Amino acid sequence: MYIVDDPTLALLVRFAGDDRSLNLSDAEFLFKQLEAIEEYVGHYSADERQARAMEWVERHAREYRQCWQKRAAFVALSRSRCTDCPLVDDSSTEPCAVHRHWLDLLRRYATDELSDHDYIHDALSLLDTHRDRLKVGRSRRCSPDSRAELTAG
């Protein structure tokens, strides 16, 4: 799915999930949008439907696309789990407490309960709050050689 209207969502899809595995279909979006238009024009006479469909597109298409993208990204990202999370053991299929909190922030963002600014602020605060616990896990996974490679450049 190509996201142009929402830079925050575009970053989430690129960095929080593997956008190749998200499998967000543009065709699925178009079929869902067509269903919404057909529902909208359904109560108008056959003579009016074409004009009413164009009216719907002019008024609602951009907002519909943005809402669909947020919902679809949330559903796809909510199924993912941090494979290298230091806060849970490798056999767990459940997300850690940090990931659960982030999913709640993402849900609130996807349903427009949080603005872009508030979502970013709260997500960064969440990471900052748990930074020390996450660093411990990261330092356990990195060998001295790989840390040297990272600092070299």
Query: How many domains, in total, are found in the chain?
Result: 2
Q: Is the pLDDT of residue 77 over 80?
A: no
| pLDDT bucket at 4, cuts 50 / 70 / 90 | low
Q: Are residues 70 and 96 in the same domain?
A: no
Q: What is the pLDDT of residues 107-125, one digit of tens each?
A: 898 888 998 889 889 988 8
- Do residues 7 and 68 both lie within one domain? yes
Contact 53, 41 (CB under 8 A): yes
Residues 12 and 71 in one domain: yes
Q: How far apart are CA 37 and CA 60, in angstroms?
A: 10
pLDDT at 86: 63
Angstrom distance (rounded) from CA 94 to CA 79: 10
How does the average pLDDT of the chain come out, rounded? Answer: 75
67 and 54 fall within a common domain: yes
> Hey, what are 94's tokens?
């459940």
Residue 137 clears pLDDT 50, i.e. is over it: no
Domain boundary among 18, 49, 80: 80
Residues 48 and 88 in one domain: no
Query: Do both 102 and 57 map to the same domain?
Result: no
Mean pLDDT calculated for residue range 82-108: 75
- Together in a domain, 56 and 105: no
Structural domain boundaries enclosing 95: 83-153
Same domain (yes/no): 6, 33 = yes
Boundary-marking domain end, from 25, 59, 80:
80
Residue 91: pLDDT band by 50, 70, 90 thresholds?
low
Q: Rounded CA gap, 135 and 117, in Å?
A: 26
Task: Report CA-CA distances (Å) from 136 to 76, 118, 142.
Answer: 28, 28, 10
**Among candidate residues 80, 112, 128, the one where a domain is terminated:** 80
* Residue 33 and residue 104 in one domain: no
- pLDDT tens figures, 19-66: 555 555 677 778 888 898 999 999 999 999 999 999 988 888 888 888
Provide the pLDDT for residue 31.
86
Q: What pTM does this model have?
A: 0.59
Same domain membership, residue 76 and residue 87: no
Same domain assignment for residues 73 and 96? no
In this structure, the answer to whether residues 36 and 94 fall within a common structural domain is no
Q: Which residue has the higher pLDDT, 70 or 83?
A: 70
